[in-house]
Amino acid sequence: MKPKAEKTPDALPADIAGAWLQPFLDHLRKERRYSVYTARNYGQAFVDFFHWLQRSQRGEGGFDVLTARDVRDFVIEAQRRYDRRTLHNHVSGLRAFYRYWMQRGRLERNPFAGAPLPKLQKNLPKFLTEAQAAALLDGPALLLKNKSLPAHDAWRDRLVLELLYGGGLRVSEVVALNYGAVDFGAGSARVLGKGRKERICPLGATAMKVLAKFRAEFAHGTGPADPVVVAAPGRRMTVRAVQLLVKKYLALADLPMDLSPHKLRHSFATHLLNSGADLRTVQELLGHANLTTTQIYTHTSVARLKEIYAKAHPRA
């Protein structure tokens, strides 16, 4: 399994890439419908693992000879180079790699099953207060009033912010949304989320009013396959463009610049729970496969309940 010639640090020998990595990546993208980013990260995890095998001289007998001790040594060394979350993601990728080739009969065991990993620090998600969210969403109207932004861009920008916060959509879901997926009568949209899982999302009365106005006055195409959010006539907005858009309105509202578009989704979930929404309902609205993913938002809700209790209860 040694490379036949000198390679750059990030490169794989052609025979390893073609016989082992590429079929796995094709499986992730075409069959499992993983995102480009997940497939890329899993691919990088394999590249790093392969080079570790070469450096440690443990790959002489192929991928099937690794022991639990080898995996432990790999994890210990990797901790010096990666933070804990990256390490967990890399091991998940390698576990999936072994599982893929075991299912095809090429490998007999998965040494990464049950690999000992350092515990992840559970950071509470950052989110905006309701007042901050309102200030952020007011930004496009302010720029329009000041004649700092064309009407098309102002209403488009407000629509993007409303979909992120009012619907709790991921950025990728916003830019992928077509008019054919919107039910104007029900005020909802069919959204294709992670793993190509479809869900119905209520978008909220305000978001629907903004969407109806944008469609009536500014949209250049409203057919079933036409994008709802456009950068220019007929051209779908990109994820990066939405990220920059949110940064612009964070600055306008004098809010922390580290609040990414995804934090609007966090805010959506937190504000629902603070107002008494059921955790299972929020899970369905967010499109989380596991309830444990949604439960992180209960920490912020409990903190809010404690605050109310401290102010209102005579025994507090």
Give the domain 14-103 fold.
Answer: DNA polymerase; domain 1 (1.10.150)
Is 37 one of the catalytic residues? no
Beta-carbon neighbour count of residue 85 at 10 Å?
Answer: 11
Is 265 one of the catalytic residues? yes
Query: What is the CATH superfamily name and number for domain 130-311?
Result: Intergrase catalytic core (1.10.443.10)
Is 297 one of the catalytic residues? yes
> pLDDT digit of tens for each residue in the chain (316 aa)?
443 333 334 578 899 999 999 999 999 988 888 888 889 999 999 999 999 998 888 867 788 888 888 899 999 999 888 888 889 899 999 999 999 999 999 999 999 988 888 876 655 446 777 888 888 889 999 999 999 999 999 999 999 999 988 788 888 889 999 999 999 998 888 888 777 778 888 888 899 999 999 999 999 889 999 999 998 777 899 999 999 999 999 899 888 777 777 777 777 777 776 666 666 666 666 655 555 555 555 555 555 555 655 666 565 4
Q: Which of 51, 288, 299, 304 is catalytic?
A: 288
Q: How far apart are CA 196 and CA 200, in angstroms?
A: 13
Q: Using alpha carbons, select from 221, 217, 143 the residue that is nearest to residue 179.
A: 221
Q: Which of 170, 196, 209, 306 is catalytic?
A: 170
Residue ranges of the chain assigned to CATH 1.10.443.10: 130-311
Predicted local distance difference test score (pLDDT) of residue 302: 52
Predicted local distance difference test score (pLDDT) of residue 279: 63
- pTM for the predicted model, two decimal places: 0.57
Predicted local distance difference test score (pLDDT) of residue 292: 56
Q: How far apart are CA 226 and CA 236, in angstroms?
A: 8
Is 106 one of the catalytic residues? no
Q: Which of 29, 152, 194, 299 is catalytic?
A: 194
Residue ranges of the chain assigned to CATH 1.10.150: 14-103
Is 29 one of the catalytic residues? no
Q: Does residue 270 contact residue 127 with C-beta atoms inside 8 Å?
A: yes
Is 170 one of the catalytic residues? yes
Q: Which of 190, 262, 299, 304 is catalytic?
A: 262
Q: Which of 263, 265, 266, 271 is catalytic?
A: 265
Single-letter residue type at 196 = R
Contacts 24+ apart (CB under 8 A), 250-258: 250/136, 252/139, 252/142, 252/143, 253/132, 253/135, 253/136, 253/138, 253/139, 255/128, 255/132, 255/135, 255/136, 258/126
Predicted local distance difference test score (pLDDT) of residue 25: 95
Burial class (CB in 10 A: 0-12, 13-18, 19+), 1: middle
Q: Using alpha carbons, select from 228, 206, 208 the residue that is nearest to residue 218.
A: 228
Q: How far apart are CA 77 and CA 61, in angstroms?
A: 21
Predicted local distance difference test score (pLDDT) of residue 126: 65
